[in-house]
Structure 1
Amino acid sequence: MTGSAGPGRGPARTRSERRRRHTLYFLEHAARQRPVHLDTDIDMTRVEAHRAAARAAGRRSSVVAYVLYAAGRVLHRHPEANAALDPGRLLGLRGPRTVRFDGVTAKLALDRTVDGERTVLSALLPGLESAGLDEIQRRIERYRGPDTAGLPEFRGVRLLGRLPVPLGRLAFAAALRDPRRRPAVLGTVSVSSLGHRPVDGFHSSGGTAVTLCAGRVAERPVARDGRLTIAPVMRLGLTFDHRIIDGAAAADVLGDLKTTLEEFDDGAEGDGFQTLVRGAGQDLRT
């Protein structure tokens, strides 16, 4: 039998992916990467104590803000990972080289609904090498409002959705042609979080030399001083582009991120707030 959808089945339907065209163009670009994946567990006791103290002081601090804070400091300390690949000119007259950036700009993936369709928008957060935690949180909140897609930062995304596909591909490629412009287009480090869902760990390639992927914070058994205890733990995935850095350098970055988060201290609060942090940390350990 031909031409039949079968009993209880309707005809196949197609729909336009206009709202996701920017994502599809990006994936075509990211397919050129040579991704390698690392991950580690991070004891979030110190971070959770700081978050509890912030709530007691009437402030909100999301886990992703701490990841961004750490990423800014760590990537600034590891300039070889805060870089982009310049593939060289045609015919191999000049071979590939890397372009290193002075500042750290994160590309933060956002799950948003635009015109009734779920899509991913990417917000750029520059200057993370020196931005304070409260400032980072304020920037995140700006992109969590109901009118995120209408912000001027996403004008290029809206344009890509309106352009015919061949022109859209050309426009996206043109924006990435000069690697020195990458911070203003793709950022210098990509950050994504699925911690609001029961996801322990995941990996993705964000088009940058390093992509950080944060899972949920969950109570898990950990060993401290030879004793077993329960602590809030987060799995942090790191994907690196092997064309830009090697595994040992990427492992150093991941180790520095782990230390920065586990020993978190933004150094910007007074003695009273630090007392709250110590008290909240003691509560988490008991």
Structure 2
Amino acid sequence: MSAEQTPIQVPQLPESVADATVVALHRKPGDAVRRDELIAELETDKVVLEVNAPADGTLVDLAVAEGDTVHADDVLGHLGPAPAQAAEEAPAAGEHVEPEPDPASAEADEADAGDEGPEPEPVADAGSPPPPSPAVRRLLQEAGLSEDQVRGTGPDGRIQREDVERAQLAAGSGVGGKGDDTSRRPAADDAGRDSARAAAGAEPPAGGPRAAGERGTERVPMSRLRARIAERLLEAKQSTAMLTTFNEIDMSQAMALRGRYKDRFEQTHGIKLGFMGLFVVAATRALQRFPVINAALDGEEIVYHHYTDIGIAVSSPRGLVVPVLRDTGNASIADIERRIRDFAERAGSGKLDIDELRGGTFTITNGGVFGSLFSTPIVNPPQSAILGMHAIQERPVAVDGEVVIRPMMYVALSYDHRLVDGADAVQFLVAIKEAIEDPARLVLDV
């Protein structure tokens, strides 16, 4: 390696992560790059890490290809002097290393380029912009967009994650769910829908549509996150005595509260009022009343947590991730809603920090945003329980001896029966039901 060349290295990986996979290379050898410009994306079993240029210069070489496995401090490539700097240094060297270009060829090139005007950058390609990375192509496919529908703002016009998200928002179907009508779809609140719809769900099939009658197969490698999810789910099923209890919640009062205050809430706090914030607060109060639900088994010992860190399951292009809301016992509903929205947006763009996915004493998942009416969520070890929310559906129910139509939601609590007794699990779920059906309980803490 020349003394003027700077190595581009894999950053330090989190303590629990051994290696990473190169999922996208955003520049190629010979490209001029600027300091902090994105060079590569690395996928671990938790998050996507970005590798940026350490300085201005020219990318001399790449030592890896997309799909390669790398470790901390591995060299991805080398950065040489910037083109202008190299041009200044060449005469000072006093020696002729490369032959000068043929003047006739240069004149021919200039003549060819003259039809389209001068090129603003010597490294720019006169043709189409560089193709998007595999991760961005996946986002395009999930969003139902073609490359010509999205204006790329990356180097040489390359389409980046932010460009796809911007196009989704313009179409009313991106992160934030602005195109949804709550009155038309009472099954999901804004915050819950946004958190699970962060990027339109899990990984789609790699291939496109097939011709009628075609009987083909295709094998694609699992992403690191998908493999990790599979490993943890199997571990949970094999290592816990899992049981699920169910109840149903009349959402009338919660919906009335939201309808009464949603505009003022948004004006005051700059975030929409959803149901997820109410459920997080209700779960926090219930965890404080039933600390065994918030505890964990460690060998033959029970670890009781004197805090509540609640994970919120969020769907992303790479699969399910569970960022953690820290210290929910000291957080307001507005703060909770704001943090959930932030998690959803950054999960869609792969920008969640590794520390935000660690720990957690309890988890909430909302399958209702996808239309799920009834399900049994799987406990997220080493936690002891998980709450599953579902779609809100108008159903006939008996109230004071009369049949009335109410917006109802089934809720499920899956728990590790080795630690949690059925009585605690049932009472915990009833406590959440009572708090949501009478939100004043959350204020009065009764």
TM-score with structure 2 length normalisation?
A: 0.47
Question: Quick check: 1:83 aligned with 2:83?
Answer: no
Shift of 1:62: 2.2
2:432 match: secondary structure? helix
The residue identity in structure 1 corresponding to 2:387 is: L
Compute the displacement of 1:199 (Å): 1.6
Task: Determine whether 1:121 maps to 2:331.
Answer: no
Whichever of the two has the greater Rg, that structure is: 2
Partners of 2:326 and 2:335 lie apart in 1 by: 11
- Matched to 1:267, the amino acid is V
Distance in 2 between the 1:155 and 1:98 partners? Answer: 24
How many residues in Structure 1 have an aligned counterpart in Structure 2?
A: 223
The answer to whether the 8 Å contact 2:394/2:405 transfers is yes
Name the structure where helix makes up a greater proportion of residues: 1
Contact 1:73 1:128 (C-alpha < 8 Å) held by counterparts: no
Q: 1:188 aligns with which of 342, 358, 361?
A: 361
- Supply the distance in 1 between the matched residues of 2:217 and 2:378 (Cα, whole angstroms): 35
Q: Is the aligned partner of 1:70 residue 2:282?
A: yes
Give the residue type in structure 1 aligned to 2:336. I
Structure 2: distance between partners of 1:147 and 1:84:
27
Task: Summarize the alignment of residues 140-159 of structure 1 with structure 2, pairs less than 5 Å apart.
Answer: 140-145=340-345, 148=348, 150-154=350-354
The yes-or-no answer on 1:234 pairing with 2:409 is: yes
The corresponding residue for 2:377 is 204
User: Which residue of 2 is the match for residue 160 of structure 1?
Assistant: none
The share of aligned pairs that are identical, in percent, is 26
**Matched AA of 1:112:** S
The structure-2 alpha-carbon separation of the partners of 1:155 and 1:102, relative to structure 1 and needing over 3 Å to count, comes to closer
**CA–CA distance in structure 1, aligned partners of residues 324 and 362 of structure 2:** 10
Distance 1:143 1:243, change over 3 A: same
Q: Which amino acid aligns with 2:392?
A: V
CA distance in 1 between counterparts of 2:423 and 2:264 reads 41
1:19 to 225, 229, 245: 225
Q: CA offset at residue 188 of structure 1?
A: 1.0
Match of 1:9 in 2: 215
Q: Which amino acid in the other structure matches residue 18 of structure 1?
A: R
Question: Is the contact made by 1:72 and 1:130 (CA closer than 8 Å) also made in structure 2?
Answer: no
Q: Which runs of 5+ in 2 are unaligned?
A: 1-212, 267-271
Task: State the 1:54 CA deviation.
Answer: 2.7
Q: 1:204 to 1:211 in 2, by over 3 A?
A: same
Match of 1:107 in 2: 311
| Counterpart for residue 443 of structure 2 | 267
Q: 1:205 to 1:19 in 2, by over 3 A?
A: closer
Q: 1:151 to 1:14 in 2, by over 3 A?
A: closer
For normalisation by structure 1, the TM-score amounts to 0.72
Task: Quote the Cα distance in structure 1 between the aligned partners of 2:347 and 2:431.
Answer: 36
2:253 alignment counterpart: 46
Cα distance in structure 1, aligned partners of 2:347 and 2:429: 35
Residue aligned with 1:221, SS = strand
Q: Distance in 2 between matches of 1:18 and 1:112?
A: 14
In 1: Cα distance, 2:285 partner to 2:375 partner = 23
Aligned Cα root-mean-square deviation (Å): 2.2
Once the two structures are overlaid, the 10-residue window that deviates more, 244-253 or 128-137, is: 128-137
Q: Aligned partners of 2:288, 2:370: CA distance in 1, in Å?
A: 30
Whole-angstrom CA distance in 2 between matches of 1:156 and 1:238: 24
The aligned counterpart of 1:34 is 241
Encode CA deviations 1:58-109: one digit per residue, 9 max, x unaligned: 521222222111111110111111100011xxxxxxxx12111111111111
SS in 2 for 1:195: helix
| Cα distance per residue 1:106-133 (max 9 Å; x no partner) | 111101114xxxx111110121223221
Separation in 2, partners of 1:109, 1:57? 28
